[in-house]
């Protein structure tokens, strides 16, 4: 099996792991008290979210241009550490229920977060980046999934798919951002080596490898490509009815159908990625997850509303 094919398979497994981890969190530890928005069905939330992403992206690029990479690292690692702590704390609370009043879970999460954050700062090898990235993806997918109902999620996926295409093929600033974060070794992407001897610490600038058209030693996937389509999967599981269909909860069946659609989009995306050029992931991933959701919802519930509740 070729090294590129192996890397694609590993990446697909990590994509599934993030979605399954988020579904487990939604089904066990996440409830209404963790919702990020007051009105989960507000269709304007995705617009605000997109505006925040655009502003933050250009702010980061501006800071990088001004050679203030240390400030970017503090911002990103601080946000990552907080998200990891929250995920670990919630999970450990579930496993240590009845063992004190949450003290063990709190300090356990604090210690694990401290260890991972230390290695992110001191030795951000690819396996450290991947471990922290998966934890962050699971937490964000789960929280956004319970915070947004189907309508705003659909709006969010369409808006971000368009933005991703424009930023990669049009303005190309997403390529510049990816190049910047790989040089700073920030945990906002997955790094899949093609050989065991690969070291992320020695990774050359992506722009140089693209311009030289040489085969890269690793494949990369932004966390947004895991998180954004995953929001629909988790939202479907959280928001839809769990009435049994063929002996299984309907919401789970639709969530799995959406995941299958996302994996189909992933497979098509990888065919383009293996040609060596940067690709916008969200148009295919979001398109796949939406198609999978629609087909699964119609098969399971047979309802043309698609689970969408109008806010007016």
On whether the CB atoms of residues 265 and 284 are closer than 8 A, the answer is: yes
Q: Quote the CA–CA distance of 87 and 214 in Å, as a whole number.
A: 38
**Is residue 127 scored above 70 in pLDDT?**
yes
Res 272: pLDDT: 85
**Is residue 208 scored above 70 in pLDDT?**
no
Compute the residue count for the chain. 312
Res 101: pLDDT: 63
Q: For the ranges 44-53, 66-75, 296-305, which has the lowest average pLDDT?
A: 66-75
On whether the CB atoms of residues 203 and 180 are closer than 8 A, the answer is: no
Every domain of the chain and the residues it spans: 3-240
Q: What band does 166 get if pLDDT is binned at 50, 70 and 90?
A: confident
> pLDDT above 70 covers what percent of the chain?
91
Res 300: pLDDT: 93
Handedness of CA 133, 136, 139, 140 (dihedral sign): negative
> pLDDT above 90 covers what percent of the chain?
42
**Is residue 115 scored above 80 in pLDDT?**
yes
On whether the CB atoms of residues 296 and 290 are closer than 8 A, the answer is: no
Res 99: pLDDT: 66
On whether the CB atoms of residues 148 and 231 are closer than 8 A, the answer is: yes
Q: List, for residues 15-37, the tens digit of each pLDDT value.
A: 999 999 999 999 998 888 888 88
**Is residue 206 scored above 70 in pLDDT?**
no
Res 198: pLDDT: 87
Token output for 87: 């995920």
Contacts for 165 with CB less than 8 Å, ≥ 6 apart = 280, 282, 283
Burial class (CB in 10 A: 0-12, 13-18, 19+), 201: exposed
**Is residue 243 scored above 90 in pLDDT?**
no
pTM: 0.89
What single DSSP character describes residue 215? P
Res 114: pLDDT: 94
The more confidently predicted of residues 97 and 35 is: 35
**Is residue 200 scored above 90 in pLDDT?**
no
Q: Taking the mean position of all CA atoms in its chain, how far away is CA 207?
A: 23
Q: Which of 268, 260, 310 is nearest to 289 (CA)?
A: 260
């Amino acid at each position: 099996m070729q090294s590129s094919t192996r890397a694609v398979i590993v990446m697909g497994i990590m994509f599934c792991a993030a979605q399954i981890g988020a579904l487990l969190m939604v089904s066990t530890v996440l409830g209404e008290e963790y919702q990020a928005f007051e009105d989960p069905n507000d269709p304007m939330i995705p617009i605000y979210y997109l505006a925040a992403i655009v502003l933050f992206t250009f702010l980061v690029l501006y800071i990088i241009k001004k050679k203030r990479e240390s400030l970017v690292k503090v911002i990103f690692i601080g946000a990552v550490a907080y998200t990891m702590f929250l995920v670990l704390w919630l999970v450990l609370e579930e496993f240590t229920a009845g063992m004190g009043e949450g003290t063990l879970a709190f300090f356990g999460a604090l210690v694990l977060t401290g260890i991972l954050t230390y290695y992110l700062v001191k030795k951000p090898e690819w396996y450290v980046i991947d471990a922290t990235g998966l934890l962050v993806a699971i937490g964000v997918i789960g929280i956004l999934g319970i915070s947004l109902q189907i309508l705003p999620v659909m709006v969010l996926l369409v808006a971000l798919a368009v933005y991703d295409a424009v930023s990669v093929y049009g303005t190309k600033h997403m390529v510049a951002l990816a190049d910047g974060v790989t040089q700073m070794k920030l945990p906002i992407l997955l790094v899949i080596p093609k050989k065991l001897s690969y070291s992320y610490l020695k990774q050359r600038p992506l722009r140089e490898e693209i311009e030289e058209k040489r085969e890269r030693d690793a494949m990369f996937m932004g966390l947004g490509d895991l998180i954004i389509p995953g929001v629909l999967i988790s939202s479907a599981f959280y928001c839809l009815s769990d009435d049994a269909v063929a002996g299984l909860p309907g919401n789970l069946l639709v969530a799995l159908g959406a995941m299958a659609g996302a994996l189909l989009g992933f497979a098509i995306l990888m065919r383009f990625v293996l040609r060596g050029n940067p690709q916008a992931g969200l148009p295919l991933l979001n398109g796949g997850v939406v198609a999978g959701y629609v087909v699964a919802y119609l098969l399971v519930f047979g309802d043309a509303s698609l689970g969408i509740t109008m806010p007016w």
